[in-house]
Structure 1
Amino acid sequence: MRKSSFYLILISSIFILTACTTTKTKEKESEEVAKINVIQELNTIDPSFSVDVNSNIVLNNIYEGLYRLDMENQPIPAGAKALPEISEDGLIYVIKLNPEAVWSNGKKITADDYIYALKRSITSKDAPQNNYFYDNIKNGHEVLEKKKSVEELGIKKIDDMTLQFELSEATPYFTAMLAMPVFFPLNQEFIEEKGDDFATTSENALYNGPFVLSEFKGAGTSSNWVYLKNETYWDKEEVKLDKIKFDVVKETTTNVNLFENGQTDEVSVLGEYAKNKKEDPQFVQEKTTQTVFLGYNHTKEFYQNAKIRQAISLLINREELAHNILGNGVEPATGLIFEHLAVNPKTGEDFTKNRPSLLATDVDKAKQLWLEGKKELGLEETEKVTIQLITFENEDMAKTAEYLQGVITENLEGAKVEINSYPVSVFMDNANKQAFDLYLVSWGADYADPNAMLQLFKSDSGSNWGKYQQPKYDNLLSEAKKNSLVPEKRWQNLIDAENLLMKEQGITPIYSSNPTYLRSTELKNVKFHNVGPRFEYKYAELKK
């Protein structure tokens, strides 16, 4: 709570102050202001460095790339004037820019802003985390590995308002990828003026989206931030809310109390609350957005043994965990790819329906494989194995980690699981440094294609935190790229890749989840995407 003291000397001053305050109050009452609680701090407001869902959501509302996604996850023009002109071989994309798009300081957005941003992103220290965005651009892989200059990257301007991309392989989802933050424009002059302070706070950034950011005091520490309507936005007439206030509140109990007391318009609900609120008219459950999986540290000899990984997977009763222990709408995983991500290009059938479940529960088999694996590693059956499991602070993650701790310790001879739960930024840092034996994480897709998930575990992927290495897997994904213009062959390549990953249990999927919320019936037209940045508030409004 803020406390203010006013020292008033003259009665006339009191009158003036009162009159001004009354005017301001009336102005505030006329504003459209929504209040939303979130459960995680922001990790960054720099588009070049964003890898997590929460940051991507915010960036997508305060910045804007060439395209946004419609309700079917298809790209629609935003910073671009129209969809790209694509060459017959699928390698050249020519994009005309939106002539009305400007920065929040009023300066026109040009092709140079997009080129500068992409070159800055691909040469940043965090570029490997997003390497799959650059791989399909001509020389992108070579620039990442510092084998070629960034000036040889396949992007150039034809004129100030026309941009051209050149790809190394035809990529059917490339236009949709351009809706992601790593492709957002940045103003070189502004960034060079701010130096190391750029994007450290809301005042040190320049925006081009439906909103500008305010009251953000720093990554990982700021417990609140505000969206303000961007008065220079080219499509501002569609933006109905003047202000959206966000507060970080991690406890579901507190969030529900605040919501029921009318102090916020939307809160995330997890665990028992999600289970118990399903019949509430204000309860919202979105499409599946992510797979929760267990990753292994393949840099350690113990987890290089496939039987050890298979044993852990076979212990997991996914039905029991999803429906009885969590019971909040999550569904047992049948593989890495979750439902509603992509459909067969020929039949229209969902990817997950094109193959049987690739996961099973068999405790006796798990015990057998565990002992066989230990023997192959030269360990005695009773030898103690301490397993460090890391995850991030989240109620569902905590319950899942405790479940895994229980079934592993109870059934696998000599195993002991120690759980460490961290704030998201700390968890990601530890995972990226392989400071774990197992890591438990939820991961969504950046675009509507199975490759969005499968590419995470390529040998050279920056998001392959466990360092899974399988040449056959890499080759299948390479073949899929080559078959971009032969959809049926590409589809089979992707199915085969998932089958191989699951056979080896390079990672262990556990369940797929979808966001669950309590949202005021007065808060309308919040757009949700189950790929890419999830929530779009451009069209949101309050209707009483």
Structure 2
Amino acid sequence: MKKFKILFFVIIILILGIGIKNVFFKSKEKNDDPVVFNLGINYNTLDPHLFTEMISAQVDSSIYEGLLRLDKKGNYIGGVAESFTENNNKMTFKIRKNAKWSDGSKITANDFVFAFRRVLNPKTAARFSEMLFPIKNAEKYYNGKANVNELGVKAIDDNNLEIEFEHPVAYFKYILTLPITAPIKEEFYKAHEKTFAVNLDSFLFNGPYKITKLSDGETLLEKNENYWNVKNIKIPKIKYIVSSDFHAVDNLIENGEIDISRVENYNLEKYRKDKTLNSFLIGKLWYLDYNLNNKFLKNQKLRQAISMAIDRDVNIKKIKNNDGSIAARSVIGNQISGYSKKYREEYPDNNYINDKDSKLAKKLYDEALKELGVKELELGLLAGNSDPEILEIQHIQEELRVKLGLKTKITVVSLKERLNMTRSEKYDIVLNTWSPKYDDATTYFDRWKTKDNKNASSWQKQKYDLLVDEIYKMPKSAERDKKINEAEKILIDDAVIAPIYFAIENTYTNPKIHGIVRREITGITDFTYAYIK
């Protein structure tokens, strides 16, 4: 009997031991699993200076870091820079002693000098190079009217960097948190120039994470052990995937295969009930972009008629299913604070576009046809191939058919192809989007500011361009906000575009993930303070 008792206890201990071991290893394995983040659509590039959309910026913000970053509350704090001072038109930055590249080498002030020069070199073709134009002689250098040594970016020594500006720039600290100002190590870049930020071995990271696996549709990140603040990074791995089929995304969430993803309105109520839904506006504008070189769309009345024919409130209700998106009758989103911190409240846009008077829209359309010398028109509508975009462009097509009698032909393509077709002007009207990159109205105005003489004859841009140039150089003030509104009204009154809505971002987040910070302006998800519980 005694032997049986001993055997019984041995068996119990073994069972408990196996159980404890399984729990331990399952827990460990679970902690080693990456946070799976669905980007929705793929990024175009991971070169921090060449990003063209915020999908790239999301990944870039994980693997690169500039001089400054934002804390939990959106305040500016040191990134690679330990501290900084502002004196009139100069900013001076002290580089952290423990700021290193992922190969263990020290980050120096010269890495920023080289990076800024690269962005402003027109051969680089950086999409947002104008973000650095406030720097002294930056625009002149970009246009070949100043040499590189005249650029107002100077390494005082390895640990101190000076940036001099043409004039005070209230928003430039925000620019210094974006990938466009990430440093690049000159020696590494020149050794990998042809494949820089393309192949896995042609990356050099300085952010919280580094890429350890790079394949089509999947990018695996792990903590960068050489990051200066690595001890406070609690999420060990992030896996970025790409799935644009949001019905499938819901299923992947249900199966526990996705931890974070934008979601469409198929299961929003379920996510709200489960308290796994985060909804936030980031100022992303969806709008109809007219090809102003099209011989018909040069006619202002035609553009105005098209804009007025689309009932934005109906679009929000029927197509967006009241998902929280906001009807847009202006260009600037609510997130832009302005001098008053409440720009949109100071300048409400309710009456900027009369989209309730379909008779007036038809009258303008008929007048446009008469001026153009035609009895009827057929125009092309270009859109992305995601489910939401297809529904939206079909709704717009029907609005134009019923209210104006305008015939349209829809073409849907991938995001990459849509961007290529738009830039090469292979479209009549495109359903487009523009996201603010920093907290200032100029982040929208950049989109329609003349960068060369192209289209100068199709839309009188001189007044707009001069006004925007003046706004750039003004410090924040009530007078500046007034001029911002004037510039905004030019775009609307001349019907340069037809704003449709400001999109809400509905995002599912696994409830075990805490401390994520989402940036109100860019929509970037920041994992710096995140942890799993």
Q: Provide TM-score, normalisation by structure 1.
A: 0.88
Asked if 1:87 is matched to 2:87, the reply is yes
**Structure 2 contact 119–126 (Cα < 8 Å) conserved:** no
**What displacement does 1:513 show?**
1.1
Moved more, 261-270 or 27-36: 27-36
Question: Which one of 227, 247, 258 corresponds to residue 253 of structure 1?
Answer: 247
**What displacement does 1:224 show?**
0.7
Asked if 1:341 is matched to 2:341, the reply is no
**Structure 1 contact 341–450 (Cα < 8 Å) conserved:** yes
| Structure 2 counterparts to residues 138-287 of structure 1, below 5 A | 138-217=136-215, 222-274=216-268, 277-287=271-281
RMSD: 2.5
| Structure 2 counterparts to residues 316-355 of structure 1, below 5 A | 316-327=310-321, 328-343=323-338, 345=339, 347-355=340-348
Question: Which one of 481, 486, 511 corresponds to residue 472 of structure 2?
Answer: 481
Question: How many residue pairs get matched?
Answer: 508
Asked if 1:373 is matched to 2:368, the reply is yes
Identify the residue that residue 501 of structure 1 maps to in structure 2. Answer: 491
**Structure 2 contact 118–124 (Cα < 8 Å) conserved:** no
**Structure 1 contact 139–148 (Cα < 8 Å) conserved:** yes
**What displacement does 1:150 show?**
3.1
Indicate the SS of the match to 1:303.
coil
CA distance in structure 2 between the aligned counterparts of 1:298 and 1:523, rounded to whole angstroms: 47
Identify the residue that residue 121 of structure 2 maps to in structure 1. Answer: 123
**Structure 1 contact 34–244 (Cα < 8 Å) conserved:** yes
Indicate the SS of the match to 1:68.
strand
Identify the residue that residue 387 of structure 2 maps to in structure 1. Answer: 395
- Which one-letter code corresponds to 2:144 in the other structure? K
Question: Which one of 282, 286, 293 corresponds to residue 292 of structure 1?
Answer: 286
Moved more, 438-447 or 462-471: 462-471
- Which one-letter code corresponds to 1:407 in the other structure? E
Identify the residue that residue 134 of structure 2 maps to in structure 1. Answer: 136
Quickly say closer, same or farther: Cα 1:275–1:341, change in 2 above 3 A: farther
Quickly say closer, same or farther: Cα 1:351–1:59, change in 2 above 3 A: same
CA distance in structure 1 between the aligned counterparts of 2:445 and 2:455, rounded to whole angstroms: 10
CA distance in structure 2 between the aligned counterparts of 1:481 and 1:340, rounded to whole angstroms: 19
**Structure 2 contact 85–93 (Cα < 8 Å) conserved:** yes
Q: Which runs of 5+ in 2 are unaligned?
A: 1-23
Identity, in percent, stands at 26
**Structure 1 contact 390–419 (Cα < 8 Å) conserved:** yes
CA distance in structure 2 between the aligned counterparts of 1:515 and 1:118, rounded to whole angstroms: 32
**Structure 1 contact 69–179 (Cα < 8 Å) conserved:** yes
Identify the residue that residue 409 of structure 1 maps to in structure 2. Answer: 401
- Which one-letter code corresponds to 1:200 in the other structure? V
CA distance in structure 2 between the aligned counterparts of 1:183 and 1:464, rounded to whole angstroms: 30
**Structure 2 contact 282–521 (Cα < 8 Å) conserved:** no
**What displacement does 1:156 show?**
1.2
CA distance in structure 2 between the aligned counterparts of 1:249 and 1:146, rounded to whole angstroms: 43
**Structure 1 contact 388–418 (Cα < 8 Å) conserved:** yes
**Structure 1 contact 63–210 (Cα < 8 Å) conserved:** yes
**What displacement does 1:465 show?**
13
**What displacement does 1:531 show?**
1.6
Question: Which one of 105, 108, 111 corresponds to residue 109 of structure 2?
Answer: 111
Quickly say closer, same or farther: Cα 1:29–1:285, change in 2 above 3 A: closer
**Structure 1 contact 456–463 (Cα < 8 Å) conserved:** no
Moved more, 300-309 or 453-462: 453-462
- Which one-letter code corresponds to 2:210 in the other structure? V
**What displacement does 1:539 show?**
2.0
CA distance in structure 1 between the aligned counterparts of 2:107 and 2:455, rounded to whole angstroms: 35
Indicate the SS of the match to 2:219.
strand
Indicate the SS of the match to 1:387.
strand
- Which one-letter code corresponds to 2:383 in the other structure? T
Quickly say closer, same or farther: Cα 1:371–1:467, change in 2 above 3 A: closer
Identify the residue that residue 531 of structure 2 maps to in structure 1. Answer: 541
**What displacement does 1:393 show?**
3.2
CA distance in structure 2 between the aligned counterparts of 1:75 and 1:300, rounded to whole angstroms: 45
Identify the residue that residue 62 of structure 2 maps to in structure 1. Answer: 61
- Which one-letter code corresponds to 1:43 in the other structure? N
Quickly say closer, same or farther: Cα 1:275–1:28, change in 2 above 3 A: closer
Q: Which runs of 5+ in 1 are unaligned?
A: 1-22
Quickly say closer, same or farther: Cα 1:71–1:27, change in 2 above 3 A: closer
**What displacement does 1:232 show?**
0.6
Quickly say closer, same or farther: Cα 1:466–1:100, change in 2 above 3 A: farther
Quickly say closer, same or farther: Cα 1:354–1:387, change in 2 above 3 A: same
- Work out which of the two has the higher radius of gyration on C-alpha atoms and give 1 or 2: 2
Indicate the SS of the match to 2:382.
strand
